[in-house]
Amino acid sequence: MAERNPKEKLVKMGNDIIKEVDAKENPKIEIPIRSLSNIIYNDKSKSLSIGDKTSKRFFFNVAHAKKFMQTTMVAAFCKELIEGKIHTNLRDMFYNLKRTLKDSEENTFDEQSESDPIVVDIEVALDMLREQLHLGADVRGRVVGNVSIVDRGDVVNWGKLGSGGWAIPSIVEEITFKSVDAKFILVIEKNAAFERLHEDKFWQKHNCIIITTQGQAARGCRRLIQRLSAEFKLPVYVFCDSDPYGWYIYSVIKFGSMSLAHQSDRLGTPNARYIGLTVSDIEEFGLDKFTIRAKDVDIKRAKDMMKYEWFQAPEWQKELKLLVDKKKKAELEALSGRGLRFMTEEYLPKKIKNKDFLP
Amino acid sequence: MAERNPKEKLVKMGNDIIKEVDAKENPKIEIPIRSLSNIIYNDKSKSLSIGDKTSKRFFFNVAHAKKFMQTTMVAAFCKELIEGKIHTNLRDMFYNLKRTLKDSEENTFDEQSESDPIVVDIEVALDMLREQLHLGADVRGRVVGNVSIVDRGDVVNWGKLGSGGWAIPSIVEEITFKSVDAKFILVIEKNAAFERLHEDKFWQKHNCIIITTQGQAARGCRRLIQRLSAEFKLPVYVFCDSDPYGWYIYSVIKFGSMSLAHQSDRLGTPNARYIGLTVSDIEEFGLDKFTIRAKDVDIKRAKDMMKYEWFQAPEWQKELKLLVDKKKKAELEALSGRGLRFMTEEYLPKKIKNKDFLP
């Protein structure tokens, strides 16, 4: 697909339909299939992506007609957002498009669960990010570091925001980086550890950017990590709990997620590496007294992950097996058992110095 | 209790115990009772507070001894935090204090559920905020407005942070306000509405501060609202979904919560008023098509709230009854049904102009 800007892509989509109408053909929209059968893991690029199977949505087809209408409504709405320079989110879009069709009892959309997947259809069909369509998602995440950005005309220095840091917005497409002075990016699952590192001036001592995802990384946060890493060639180290959920958070940052496989090249950061915690760390750093017993659901999840193509590296197989065998989890807070500044002054510096990362 | 700084209060607590030891008395710690029987609603000050019933925790008492030890451990830990100028959170504290007592199988703490209430005991006993003990809580919340603060030596202008805004930290005790140029504070339950208002420059046009709590307000966020309101005599308008959960969020911001009744004077903002949404708004602003059917649990919750002393105002009784009768809820996003900028350009300006607030 030739590179076009988002508005041009939407206009072309509409024009293609009009051409078919003029030619008295059955108007259609072609959409790549997103089911697991069409999701491909590329070991070389370290990312999940979508294959080339597509389905066609026809106007003159009783089973397709409503979805066809919904697709064009959402596309027209996004074009209006872009033209009006207005950003919104999926829920507001649903309310805005929900109405009863003239002379009928039929609603355009009954539930938000009908309009949400249409947005993904358009993302995939036009090879765009939802954020480029001016639709934001959840917001979560904070960042601190020696970075100046320009956002809506404001120059924001992430290193001069006190204890709070910069709240990462849902859409980071339009920010520009004015200056970036950092040797790496440390991505932290939990805010508590982020606050500890921030108070201890870790990012100043180690000349890095620290980002907390506050749990599973929101899209804005993932995109920010990806942009910083790609545009400034910065290594990314991810720091999560030693449990399947923490490792899953890492895998989504690195490889992308299955449900957003079509966006991995924009949301995934293939060069990300895992700094910890691991089950091996428990012994190496004397954390045994501060572990939690893994539940059945953790064991099952770890066993599932052992089968994923993107967890086949021997280092990961070893950690997953250790969790299954020892049935021990450890949270980032476990490091506080060794002293509140153990993480800042011993654990992380040692890991970074020895390049002790998982792939 | 004479005003002392937090460290002095902790030291006095320790010295009182030492005096009892020296006098060969049974050492004790006196703690106000926090059960519902000792929680008082003051209609004049519009806040929940704690009564004067107390209980004593003795060292020489088999049922008290462990908790006595735990209380002194937590108090000593907090003194160290203050002296070391280090902040942490409840989970890290638990891991840091958890250990096995010498020559025994007994742990100081087995679960975090043992150490958390001890912190509240000390807060109540010494009439202090957890944050003054250097213990942070959850973080959530973002703020934008014509305000400059000083935080850890950085001057931060909340009006110059691009689309992200300032991430409200868990502890806002130590920030100082350099300049505050605003006529009121608008507190918004949901981030999506906050982003809409921010993009539409609502805070510039109406010269106000906008804060999103992102759901139930975290302590840092509540304290920030309280400080701004009290120190700068700013009216506070709270903007939530029209449902019992949204109204509960409002009530916690205004009156305080039952579980933190001892902190209402520091965390509650008695002059806060409710700007919307209400069930009455549904008709007045033509939102009927965008409502959601209330569930049984909502109806039950509304009936419970009708009995709360702090919801006895006739305006609230009317809205609660309307919800029970009409069984209709409305989210902030319902306003988008009337157009994406309806909230910014019509709903809020009309409400503010007519002073159409609930008490």
For residues A303 and A308, what is the distance between their CA atoms, to the nearest angstrom? 9
Structure tokens at A77: 């709405």
B-chain CB neighbours of A94 within 8 Å are: 333
Overall pTM surpassing 0.90 (yes/no)? no
Asked if the C-beta of B92 comes within 8 angstroms of chain A's C-beta atoms, the answer is yes
Please answer whether residues A200 and A344 qualify as being in contact, where contact means their C-beta atoms are separated by less than 8 angstroms: yes
- B1: pLDDT strictly greater than 60: no
Contact B92 A340 (CB under 8 A): yes
Closest in B289, B331, B340 to A88, CB measured: B340
Contact A98 B171 (CB under 8 A): no
- pLDDT at position A78, please? 96
Residue range A141-153: mean pLDDT, rounded: 95
* Count of pairs with CB atoms under 8 A, one residue in A, one in B: 158
Asked if the C-beta of B333 comes within 8 angstroms of chain A's C-beta atoms, the answer is yes
pLDDT tens digit string along B59-108? 999 999 999 999 999 999 999 999 999 999 898 999 999 988 888 888 99
Closest in B87, B167, B337 to A164, CB measured: B167
> Average per-residue pLDDT in chain B?
92
Contact A162 B142 (CB under 8 A): no
pLDDT tens digit string along B136-183? 877 889 999 999 999 999 999 999 999 888 989 888 998 999 999 999
**Interface mutation target, options B82, B83, B95, B170, chain A, most CBs of A under 10 Å:** B95
Q: For a pLDDT cut of 70, what percent of chain A falls above it?
A: 99
Task: State ipTM.
Answer: 0.79
- B135: pLDDT strictly greater than 60: yes
Q: Domain B6-136 - what CATH class?
A: mainly alpha
- The Cα-based distances of B288 to A56, A224, B35, B323, B335 in angstroms read 36, 39, 42, 13, 10
Q: Which one from B95, B237, B250, B347 is the annotated catalytic residue?
A: B95
Closest in A95, A161, A162 to B333, CB measured: A95
Closest in B92, B154, B335 to A333, CB measured: B92
- pLDDT at position B262, please? 77
Q: Which one from A41, A95, A274, A347 is the annotated catalytic residue?
A: A95
User: Could you tell me the pLDDT band of residue B265, with boundaries at 50, 70 and 90?
Assistant: confident
First to last CA, chain B: 32
Asked if the C-beta of B149 comes within 8 angstroms of chain A's C-beta atoms, the answer is yes
Closest residue, chain A, to B162 (C-alpha): A151
- pLDDT at position A2, please? 44
Closest in A169, A195, A290 to B98, CB measured: A290
- The Cα-based distances of B297 to B244, B245, B329 in angstroms read 9, 11, 12
Residue range A173-193: mean pLDDT, rounded: 95
Please answer whether residues B212 and B166 qualify as being in contact, where contact means their C-beta atoms are separated by less than 8 angstroms: no
pLDDT tens digit string along B322-356? 999 999 999 999 999 999 999 999 999 999 999 99
Q: How far is B262 from chain A (nearest CA, A)?
A: 25
A-chain CB neighbours of B149 within 8 Å are: 162
CATH number of the A142-353 domain: 3.40.1360.10
B-chain CB neighbours of A191 within 8 Å are: 139, 170
Closest residue, chain B, to A152 (C-alpha): B162
Closest residue, chain B, to A342 (C-alpha): B96
Asked if the C-beta of A150 comes within 8 angstroms of chain B's C-beta atoms, the answer is yes
| Cβ atoms within 10 Å of B103's Cβ, excluding its own | 6
Contact A336 B92 (CB under 8 A): yes
Asked if the C-beta of B290 comes within 8 angstroms of chain A's C-beta atoms, the answer is yes
- pLDDT at position B207, please? 98
SS3 (DSSP) at A214: coil
Q: How far is A205 from chain B (nearest CA, A)?
A: 16
Asked if the C-beta of A334 comes within 8 angstroms of chain B's C-beta atoms, the answer is yes
Domain locations along chain B = 6-136, 142-353
A-chain CB neighbours of B199 within 8 Å are: 86-87
- pLDDT at position B3, please? 57
Asked if the C-beta of A151 comes within 8 angstroms of chain B's C-beta atoms, the answer is yes
Closest in B164, B166, B290 to A95, CB measured: B290
Closest in A92, A167, A196 to B333, CB measured: A92
Residue range A247-258: mean pLDDT, rounded: 91
- pLDDT at position A39, please? 84
**Interface mutation target, options A90, A150, A163, chain B, most CBs of B under 10 Å:** A163
Contact A87 B169 (CB under 8 A): no
Please provide the DSSP assignment of B26-72 as one string.
--EEEEE--SGGGEEEETTTTEEEE-S-EEEEESS-TTTHHHHHHHH
Contact A164 B171 (CB under 8 A): no
Q: How far is B192 from chain A (nearest CA, A)?
A: 7
- A92: pLDDT strictly greater than 70: yes
Closest in A87, A161, A214 to B166, CB measured: A161
User: Could you tell me the pLDDT band of residue A26, with boundaries at 50, 70 and 90?
Assistant: very high
Contact A167 B170 (CB under 8 A): no
> Average per-residue pLDDT in chain A?
92
User: Could you tell me the pLDDT band of residue A3, with boundaries at 50, 70 and 90?
Assistant: low
Residue A329 sits at φ, ψ, to 5 deg, of -115, 155
Contact B154 A161 (CB under 8 A): yes
CB < 8 Å & 24+ apart, contacts of B259-264: B259/B34, B260/B219, B261/B34, B261/B39, B261/B40, B261/B48, B261/B49, B261/B50, B262/B32, B262/B34, B262/B49, B262/B50, B262/B120, B262/B123, B262/B124, B262/B127, B263/B123, B263/B129, B264/B47, B264/B48, B264/B49
- A34: pLDDT strictly greater than 90: no
pLDDT tens digit string along A273-311? 999 999 999 999 999 989 999 999 999 999 999 998 889
Contact A91 B333 (CB under 8 A): yes
pLDDT tens digit string along B2-59? 457 999 999 999 999 999 999 999 999 999 998 878 888 888 888 888 888 999 999 9
Residue range A244-261: mean pLDDT, rounded: 89
Residue B4 sits at φ, ψ, to 5 deg, of -125, 160
Q: Which of A326, A342, A340 is nearest to A285 (CA)?
A: A342
Q: How far is B267 from chain A (nearest CA, A)?
A: 19
**Interface mutation target, options B106, B333, B338, B343, chain A, most CBs of A under 10 Å:** B333
pLDDT tens digit string along B89-100? 898 999 999 988
- A189: pLDDT strictly greater than 60: yes
- B275: pLDDT strictly greater than 60: yes
- pLDDT at position B2, please? 44
B95 catalytically annotated: yes
- pLDDT at position A1, please? 38
For residues A356 and A353, what is the distance between their CA atoms, to the nearest angstrom? 8
Residue range A137-157: mean pLDDT, rounded: 92
pLDDT tens digit string along B211-244? 999 999 999 999 999 999 999 999 999 999 999 9
B-chain CB neighbours of A214 within 8 Å are: 139
